[in-house]
């Protein structure tokens, strides 16, 4: 009986010690948190941040005293960030590769599938509530206005098919984020479910080519999120 109690307590100890709390949609934050396990403080930029806690790739880092910039085209989401993360820079912006006016295919406030991409919109069955005209800016312009001079440890880009455009408006050779996670929606697949993923489609994508041509290594793939690490971070 005593032996069984000892075994039970040992199991419970390990259960508590190795408990993994994830706030991401797919567990991506656990991978990012592990990459930076030895870095007590750092800086992130989260583009398409959505909610400050749920379905968020940077909340685990925030809990470890990291800070950063959170960007989302939905004002209500940014209002939540200002409440939950008042010491971060929280911005209601739509990023693209240019300053201009573009169509937002809008489903509803807080929707994670609101998109600027007409290709993504026309690939979907769900109708939008409406199409809005919104202003866009580039990430370069934003960082210049902020007089940004920090090292970007982690950048997350999840903008429903507009990731390429965001990167086109960003001087990646100047800023060199150490780790980038980016959503990749593969429109060559009939069903966007992880069991249908096809690695060759990623390897032939403009997104993959752009990042690997700029000194990044493709190191992980989780559902629709790809993780790239800059060569300077690798041992």
Per domain, the residue ranges of the chain are: 21-233
What does the alpha-carbon distance between residue 27 and residue 46 come to, in Å, rounded to a whole number? 16
Q: What is the pLDDT of residue 129?
A: 73
Asked whether 70 and 182 are in contact (CB, 8 A), the reply is: no
Residue pLDDT, tens place only, 25-53: 888 999 999 999 999 999 999 999 999 99
pTM beyond cutoff 0.95: no
21-233: CATH, from 2.60.40, 3.40.50, 1.20.58, 3.30.2010: 3.40.50
Question: Are 183 and 158 spatial neighbours (Cβ–Cβ below 8 Å)?
Answer: yes
Could you read off the pLDDT of 190-215 as tens digits, one per residue? 666 656 677 888 999 999 999 999 99
| pLDDT interval class at 15 (50, 70, 90) | very low
Q: Which of 136-140, 162-166, 184-188, 215-219 has the lowest mean pLDDT?
A: 184-188
Cβ of 107: how many Cβ atoms within 10 Å?
18
C-alpha torsion 27→28→31→33, nearest 10? -100
């Amino acid at each position: 009986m005593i032996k069984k109690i000892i075994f039970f307590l040992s199991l419970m100890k390990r259960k508590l010690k190795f408990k993994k709390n994830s706030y991401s949609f797919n567990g991506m934050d656990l991978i990012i948190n592990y990459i930076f396990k030895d870095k007590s403080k750092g800086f992130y930029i989260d583009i398409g941040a959505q909610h400050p806690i749920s379905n968020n790739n940077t909340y685990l880092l925030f809990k470890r005293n990291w800070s950063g910039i959170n960007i989302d085209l939905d004002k209500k989401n940014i209002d939540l960030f200002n409440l939950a993360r008042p010491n971060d820079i929280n911005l209601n912006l739509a990023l693209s590769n240019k300053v201009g006016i573009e169509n937002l295919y809008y489903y509803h406030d807080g929707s994670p599938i609101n998109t600027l991409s007409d290709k993504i919109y026309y690939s979907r069955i769900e109708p939008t509530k409406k199409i809005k005209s919104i202003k866009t800016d580039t990430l370069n312009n934003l960082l210049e206005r902020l007089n940004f001079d920090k090292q970007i440890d982690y950048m997350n880009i999840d903008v429903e098919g507009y990731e390429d455009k965001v990167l086109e408006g960003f001087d990646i050779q100047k800023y060199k984020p150490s780790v980038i996670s980016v959503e990749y929606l593969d429109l060559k697949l009939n069903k966007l479910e992880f069991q249908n993923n096809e690695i060759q489609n990623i390897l032939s994508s403009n997104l993959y080519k752009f990042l690997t041509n700029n000194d990044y290594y493709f190191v992980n793939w989780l559902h629709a999120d790809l993780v790239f690490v800059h060569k300077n971070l690798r041992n």
